[in-house]
Structure formats: C-alpha cells, structure tokens
Amino acid sequence: MKELTVTVVGNEEIAPGIFEIDFQLPEDIFFRCGQFVNLSVGDGLHLLRRPFAVLFYDKNTRTAGVCYQVKGEGTKLLSQRKEGDKLTCVIPLGNGFILKEEEKRVALIGGGVGVFPLLSVLGEYKDSDKHFRSYMGFRSAAYVNTFGMYDKRSDALFVATDDGSFGKKGTSVSLFFEDFEQAKPDVIFACGPTPMLRALKAGLSERGIGVPCYVSLEERMGCGIGACLVCVCHKTGGEANVRVCKDGPVFEIGEVEI
C-alpha cells in the first residue's frame, strides 16, 4: 500500500447517481482483484477518505477506476471532480479475492453497487482457464447500464431487477440458486447489501451447500489501513473482531457475522 497523489482522467455518471471515476497513478502498484482504494474527495474539509473497490487497474497506463454511488456530501463532491484534478489516496488496500489453482468454475453474485468489486475479478482472469457465471441484481433497468462487461467475460450472465424492468424480477441470490445445479461452482464470490449476503448465507446453509463462499464487506472506515479499529465486524461466535480494511474486505462467509 502506498500514499499517492493521483490525477483524474474521467468521472462520468454511468447510471442514475452512480459514477465511474478513473485516475492515473504516478507509479505502478501490485493490484489484486477485490482490493480497494481509500480516496480523498478533494476539498480539504472532508477529512475522511472514501473506501471504494477498485474496478480495474491497467498496468500499461497506470490507470485505475472505481464506481461509487452519490450518497452524501463527500461523494457529491467527488462527483464534481474533473479531468486533471488531483486527489490523494492509499492504494491498494485489503486482501482481495483469491482464486485457487483448482477452482475453475466461479460464481459471481452481486447486488447494487456490490457488482463493482466483482468486475475486477473478471478483469484479472479474462485470459485464464477460469469459467465465470455471473448473477447480478439491480434496483431497475436504469441501473443495469454498463454491465455489458459481465456479458463478454462471463460464460453466462443472469440479471434480476427488483421491479422486473430488466431481466427477471427477483434478486441475484435467487438467480444463483435457480442455476446452481447447472453451474456447479467450485467457489462463490459475492458482494452486495447486507440483506443480500444474509440471504446467501441462509440459502447455502439450508441447502447444505459446502462450496467455499467469499464475500466482500463494506463498513465506514477511518484510516483504511488497519490502525484505528473503526471498521470492524464480529468473527462468528462473537469472541473477537476482524478489521474489514486490513483482514478483509473479503472474508469466508462462515468466518464473520453478517
């Protein structure tokens, strides 16, 4: 992880209230899919950086991107940053998604802005012998925009919307369980809102599915590097805490309380 000043190369609204900001790094980093960046919003008055999953990192151009939803003052300010603006950050952070050699069939389950950390998995393994089946859930058709990437890189893409305005009416988790027998995944990667992850955990348990499942968690952060103990969650059993920023953000689904 490095403290770097980066230069914005693009910042566009890709769906209602959801932006992709791309920035160039002054030096190369070693990036693994599922890792995140703790990014300043660039005004000096907002002292906390915002942790966002890195969508992609292109070594050749030293360019990285993140997608974010405008939710409060900080993300609103970030959405106003223009090409050429400088932002500071610490990158890369966290453990990321790790695929073992023998894990060939991968299920990606994403909900809402939780689809973005999973895009980096597809990016990293695009020329590999891994096979992906992606299950993505969105609020409505308007939010499905730009997820063509899944289509190109996944063997199969299943999309659900809450209101049925695109794909199936339902959730990414319901899509996954409907397809499970056909997919026979060796491993599951998931990211999304807490109710979605709870439904996934419960569904796996009810069906007695023992496939390894890793989830990327979100929590309000302070330092982002593991020092301040702000972004913790309980380990299963509640006897100890783990730090989302340093021990995660990716955890085995049974390891933590969701």
Partner 1 sequence: MANLHTKICGVEFKNPVIAASGTFGFGKEFNEIFDISVLGGISTKGLTLEPRLGNPTPRIAEGRGVILNAVGLQNPGVDKFLEEDLDFLKSKNIVIIANVAGKTLEDYAGICARLDGLVDMIELNISCPNVKCGGMAFGIRPESVEQVTHAAKSALKKTPLIVKLSPNVESIAANALAAQKGGADCVSLINTLTGMAIDIERRRPIIANNTGGVSGAGVKPVAVRMTYEVCSAVSIPVIGMGGITCAEDALEFIIAGASAVQVGTANFTDTLAMPKIIAGLNAWLDAHGVADINELRGTLQLNG
Q: Are 114 and 196 in contact (CB under 8 A)?
A: yes
Q: Are 215 and 251 in contact (CB under 8 A)?
A: yes
Please report whether residue 230 would count as binding partner 1 according to CB under 8 A. Answer: yes
Please report whether residue 226 would count as binding partner 1 according to CB under 8 A. Answer: yes
Please report whether residue 46 would count as binding partner 1 according to CB under 8 A. Answer: yes
We find the least distance from the C-beta atom of residue 13 to partner 1, in angstroms, to be 22
Cα 253 to Cα 172: distance, rounded to the nearest angstrom: 17
Residue among 68 and 177 whose Cβ is closer to partner 1: 68
Residue among 47 and 101 whose Cβ is closer to partner 1: 47
Contact residue for partner 1 among 88, 128, 194, 205 (CB under 8 A): 88
Please report whether residue 229 would count as binding partner 1 according to CB under 8 A. Answer: yes
We find the least distance from the C-beta atom of residue 229 to partner 1, in angstroms, to be 5
Q: Are 92 and 29 in contact (CB under 8 A)?
A: yes
CA end-to-end distance (rounded Å), the chain: 27
171-192 CB burial, b ≥16 within 10 A, e <16:
bbbbbbbebbeebebbbbbbbb
Cα 110 to Cα 99: distance, rounded to the nearest angstrom: 17
Stretch that binds partner 1, among 128-136, 137-145, 201-209, 239-247 (CB under 8 A): 239-247
What does the binding site for partner 1 look like in residue numbers (CB under 8 A)? Answer: 1-3, 40, 45-49, 74, 88, 90, 219-234, 238, 240-241, 246
